[in-house]
Structure 1
Amino acid sequence: MKKIYLLLVRLARLAFGAKKAQYQVAYFMSFAGNETFIRELVKQFGSDEVLIVYKTNVKENVLQLQQGHIIKHAIEFKKFQVTSFVKGIKLARVTLFDNYYPELSAINKTKKDYFIQMWHANGAIKAFGWEDPSTYHRSVEDQQRFQRVYDSFDQIVVGSEKMADVFQRSWHVASDKIDRIGYPRTDKYFEESWIEKARKKIQTKLPELTQKRVILYAPTYRKDVSFSLPDDWRKIKVPQDAVLIVRLHPHLANVERQIVDASPDRVIMVDHFISTQELLCVADTLITDYSSIAFDFSLLDNARSVIFFTYDLEEFERTVGIQASFKAAFLNQMVNTVEQLNDAILFGNSDKNVIHKLNQQWNTLNDGHSSARLIKQVKERCTDE
């Protein structure tokens, strides 16, 4: 099936031939949260020069951008709809991606094609690419296909030397492909107006949180793996002056409800019309496991503590893998039982050592101006052509 699908991608590429670019930039969107960058793209290039090629899971976010008259041109890339994918690439001078797209292994790049990988995470705790344990159990043909995707990128944008090292190891790419200009998705965490708007939105919609200490539990999404908490989760203790918000991936909304129903008092869920990024702006404590959300949270002035609740560490390492350097740096901050988690919640409220370490290692190039730097490079590339 994969061979047939990728053959169709190649044929679609040939069918479009040397079609002239109609847009300066195409942005391939599979994750929400980078709308600030998209707005800046449109501001700098004009709405007629920017094309959004989006996956169905972010359709609502794209509709909001369209309704707000931010973007004019968008193509939905549904599963196996190869013409949409190829069309997006052929119609733009520069193409930006926020994820791994297997279709790129079947795209024979020309000199006119220029691909930039922006990724969807500011740092890495989970292993991926060649550091994913499952990669070495795949066929040589699969491994070669993976590498063709990695090699297709002309630039890979990062927010730290630490993340540059991760990409070099995980994707086997040369250092000169790494674009050390900061991570555009973090710019909003330096923007006081955006932060204040997020806080006012929550205060208006959820005034009961105003006088509470907000603890946010946001574990990573486990693709193709069912999510379940440890048996002793019912023993979680939320302080009287606090509320613990459970926020899972949108695909796990039903599980989110089940967790809250099986939890003691002061454990709640919040409707997803308030984004996870907005919730970060009012939380003083983040509980996560292997999610890159920790790197984003550490940039906010309200961040007081990050707790890594890694009750399934051994199993996760075996099936998904985590970055060895991250484990070495933060092993002492990982808690494995609900009893340990309760202690961390109670006594770790003012401990900013983890926050400092996260920023020191993973946010060194992020300063709120990464989007401007990247857009400047894209402009130069378009002008050179």
Structure 2
Amino acid sequence: MSLLWSGRRQRDVVYLMSFGDNVPFIMALAAAMPADRQLLVFYRPSCQSAADELVKAGIAVRPFTDGFGFVFTGISQMMRARVLFCDNYYAFLGGLRHPKRMRIVQVWHAAGAIKRFGWDDPTTAHRSASDQRRFQAVYDHFDEYVVGAPAMGQVFVTSYRASLDQMQVLGYPRSDRLQDRHWVAHTQQRVWQQVPALKGHRVILYAPTYRDGVTFTPPAGLAQALRSDPDARVVIKMHPALATKAEDLQRQLGAQGVVADTLATTDLLTVAETLVTDYSSVAFDYSLLANAHSLLFYLFDLPAYQQDPGVQPDLLDWLPGQALTTNAQLATAIQADTATNVTQFNQHWNSANDGHATERVVARYVALLSD
């Protein structure tokens, strides 16, 4: 279908948004663009609040879902793009005719990777040949990848069968705010206003990854381990699909458990003295915050998770601290409250996430609009 519009001149910028945490970058991009060029953001319905922010800033947005409606209304606009930003894997790209002048740029939604994906996912080898061709057709459309460190570039090389020269180590724009002391201070005040029970206490945030297609059941006794520091307050933050599990665990925490359902995980990271996570990318964000004290990896299901979906083979080499696999180990780590040294961890995954990624990424791709 994209052949119908393949002859159009590529002049504008299109951003495909399925994660709503890159709004400052999109606004900076809009502000830097030439007056005769347009920016259009297509967004998934789950990003409605982010889209509303963009509308207030005068940026054109369009909702989209996969289907014929988008094919007939969205593809025609997308084919005008000189630069097409993607923040995720979008299956429809596999059927798109890639104009020579269009630069398709992957601005991934996480600064690092613990889980395997793409060709590195053990389950991919068991998919049909047609599925594998379809996956690679999407991967082949990406011309460049914006990454925060060479380590993430290598992940894309193996996961998407990309080449190293496609990697642009410019830093992730979404990471800039984590090192903006004004944004952090404002966010902390907002968290304390909305959840005053956290003010003045050690905050322990438990934020596990979403296990796609897997029934996640927190181990018995986890709540007791999480409340090992009697003076701390514990917040549970899980994927919305696991709301019932989160509520059950929250009840088990008793008086030490604090409900903060209205706040995003990133907001809560700014007040957390201790983050307990597993395979989630929140670890890469937390390690950039000045308030980050202890980063604990609670990998109770590591043997099974190594099989499906799999973890990076060198995980234990760069993990900052011990892989905690039992409630007793987690309880001991919480009680010890030892600061986690994240220096090498950040050198590995966040080397270009220095608070100035937005200006570098904007400069690179706005420059393409003048050639």
- Normalised by the size of structure 1, how large is the TM-score? 0.90
Q: Are 1:270 and 2:257 an aligned pair?
A: no
1:150-229, aligned counterparts within 5 Å? Answer: 150-229=139-218
Q: Deviations over 1:195-242 (max 9, x none)?
A: 111011112222221111011111111222222101222432422221
Contact between 1:233 and 1:263, CA under 8 Å: does it hold in 2? no
Find the counterpart in structure 1 of residue 340 from structure 2: 352
Match of 1:89 among 78, 86, 94: 78
Match of 1:363 among 342, 350, 353: 350
- C-alpha distance in 2 between matches for 1:71 and 1:46: 15
- C-alpha distance in 2 between matches for 1:117 and 1:194: 26
Contact between 2:226 and 2:234, CA under 8 Å: does it hold in 1? no
- C-alpha distance in 2 between matches for 1:84 and 1:197: 40
Where do 5+ consecutive residues of structure 1 fail to align?
A: 1-10
- C-alpha distance in 2 between matches for 1:192 and 1:235: 34
Larger CA deviation: 38-47 vs 156-165: 38-47
Query: What's the Cα RMSD here?
Result: 1.9
Partner SS state of residue 306, structure 1: strand
Find the counterpart in structure 2 of residue 381 from structure 1: 368
Shift of 1:88: 4.5
Q: Are 1:242 and 2:239 an aligned pair?
A: no
Q: Are 1:27 and 2:11 an aligned pair?
A: no
Contact between 2:319 and 2:345, CA under 8 Å: does it hold in 1? no
Find the counterpart in structure 2 of residue 145 from structure 1: 134
Match of 1:76 among 60, 63, 71: 63
Shift of 1:121: 0.4
Match of 1:255 among 227, 234, 245: 245
Match of 1:41 among 17, 24, 29: 29
- C-alpha distance in 1 between matches for 2:215 and 2:52: 30
- C-alpha distance in 2 between matches for 1:140 and 1:163: 27
Find the counterpart in structure 1 of residue 293 from structure 2: 304
Amino acid of the residue matched to residue 137 of structure 1? Answer: H
- C-alpha distance in 2 between matches for 1:281 and 1:188: 11
- C-alpha distance in 2 between matches for 1:102 and 1:128: 15
Counting aligned pairs with the same residue, the percent is 35
Larger CA deviation: 279-288 vs 220-229: 220-229
Find the counterpart in structure 2 of residue 121 from structure 1: 110
- C-alpha distance in 1 between matches for 2:158 and 2:59: 38
- C-alpha distance in 2 between matches for 1:250 and 1:374: 32
More helix by share: 1
Larger CA deviation: 42-51 vs 98-107: 42-51
Q: Deviations over 1:22-58 (max 9, x none)?
A: x631110011211121221122227972211111211
Match of 1:133 among 113, 122, 147: 122
- C-alpha distance in 2 between matches for 1:213 and 1:331: 21
Shift of 1:332: 5.7
**Cα 1:254–1:46 shift into 2, 3 Å:** farther
Contact between 1:30 and 1:57, CA under 8 Å: does it hold in 2? yes
Q: How many residues align?
A: 367
- C-alpha distance in 2 between matches for 1:180 and 1:229: 37
Contact between 2:320 and 2:340, CA under 8 Å: does it hold in 1? no
Shift of 1:303: 0.4
Find the counterpart in structure 2 of residue 6 from structure 1: none
Shift of 1:138: 0.9
Find the counterpart in structure 2 of residue 52 from structure 1: 41
Contact between 1:42 and 1:71, CA under 8 Å: does it hold in 2? no
- C-alpha distance in 1 between matches for 2:298 and 2:72: 43
Amino acid of the residue matched to residue 233 of structure 2? Answer: V
- C-alpha distance in 2 between matches for 1:57 and 1:199: 24
- C-alpha distance in 2 between matches for 1:250 and 1:65: 24
Find the counterpart in structure 2 of residue 109 from structure 1: 98
Shift >4 Å, 4+ stretches: none
Contact between 2:29 and 2:366, CA under 8 Å: does it hold in 1? no
- C-alpha distance in 2 between matches for 1:207 and 1:231: 29
Q: Are 1:291 and 2:287 an aligned pair?
A: no
Amino acid of the residue matched to residue 72 of structure 2? Answer: T
Contact between 1:117 and 1:153, CA under 8 Å: does it hold in 2? yes
- C-alpha distance in 1 between matches for 2:253 and 2:66: 37
Shift of 1:329: 3.0
Where do 5+ consecutive residues of structure 2 fail to align?
A: none
Shift of 1:252: 2.8
